[in-house]
């Protein structure tokens, strides 16, 4: 089943956004990633039968970013 998640990441630049997006789209189950740099939001659509919110958060944190 498709789920949506909106996360906030501090200090989000274009390079940071690309790094995060690349990491997320490699995860099996992530369908779409949209990043709004101005409001520091990451919009993620994913299949919750394949992955969960915890894995998504951990992936971003593993790239060195704090998720709120």
pLDDT digits (tens, 9 = 90+) for 15-54: 999 999 999 999 999 999 999 999 999 999 999 999 999 9
Residue 11 has pLDDT above 90, yes or no: no
Report how far residue 25's alpha carbon sits from residue 29's, in angstroms, rounded to the nearest whole number.
8
CATH number of domain containing 26: 3.30.70.100
- Between 53 and 68, the more confident residue is 53
Q: Is the dihedral of CA 50, 54, 58, 59 positive or negative?
A: positive
Residue 68 lies in a domain: no
Residue 67 lies in a domain: no
In which domain, by residue range, is 26 found? Answer: 2-62
Residue 36 lies in a domain: yes
Number of independent structural domains in the chain: 1
């Amino acid at each position: 089943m498709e789920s949506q998640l909106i996360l906030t990441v501090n200090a989000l630049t274009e390079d940071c956004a690309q790094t995060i997006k690349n990491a997320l789209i490699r995860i099996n189950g992530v369908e779409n990633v949209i990043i709004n740099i101005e409001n520091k939001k990451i919009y993620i659509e994913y299949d919750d039968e394949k992955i969960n919110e915890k894995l998504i958060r951990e992936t971003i944190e593993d790239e060195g970013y704090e998720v709120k």
